[in-house]
Structure 1
Amino acid sequence: MAPFPFLVWGADELRRAVVRHRIPGSRPAVAPAPLPPPAPRSPHHPLPTLLARHGWSAHRLTHALGVGEHAAAEMVAHAHRISAEHGRRTR
């Protein structure tokens, strides 16, 4: 049984050598598939949008997150648009 580990090791090294020295033209090169373009990102942070989708008002977002009233109103409107796209109602 003592020579078997050396036989397995030798066979593995031989396989690695064959793979390393394979002729480049003998195998067709496979080009990787192109990546799809990234999805457009929302200008709003996901947390305020999530809070607005769960019923937080613009006034509450203004005080809780320290954002301006106009920005909070935009976040709430954005959350309503997202919900409408997904067929969900906001509270």
Structure 2
Amino acid sequence: MKLALKEVIVVVEAVVLVAVVVVLAAAAAAVVHVAVVVVVILTLVVVLTVIVTVLTVSVIVVVPVLIVVEVVVVVVVIIVVELVVVGLVVVIEY
């Protein structure tokens, strides 16, 4: 009976440990996700500003195109980061 109790305790400890690792991984993923998004957006805003400043003559054409490009790049980067994070969480879980 004592042996079975010890085995249950070991299993519970293992489950708790895995849960803690998953929660920590999720928290780290959230922080990384936010940081990457902020950096990407700031970089793109700076690039957008520089390009618009250089090409003031064709602002009417350039700005909408750049905004579309900016949105697409941000979305792609976010998706890639999310996939990497999900992959890491899955690897950590198993």
| Structure index of larger Rg | 1
Confirm or deny a common fold (TM above 0.5): no
Q: Identify the structure with the greater helix proportion.
A: 2
Q: TM-score, normalised by structure 1?
A: 0.30
Higher relative contact order (CA 8 A, sep 6+): 2
Q: TM-score, normalised by structure 2?
A: 0.29
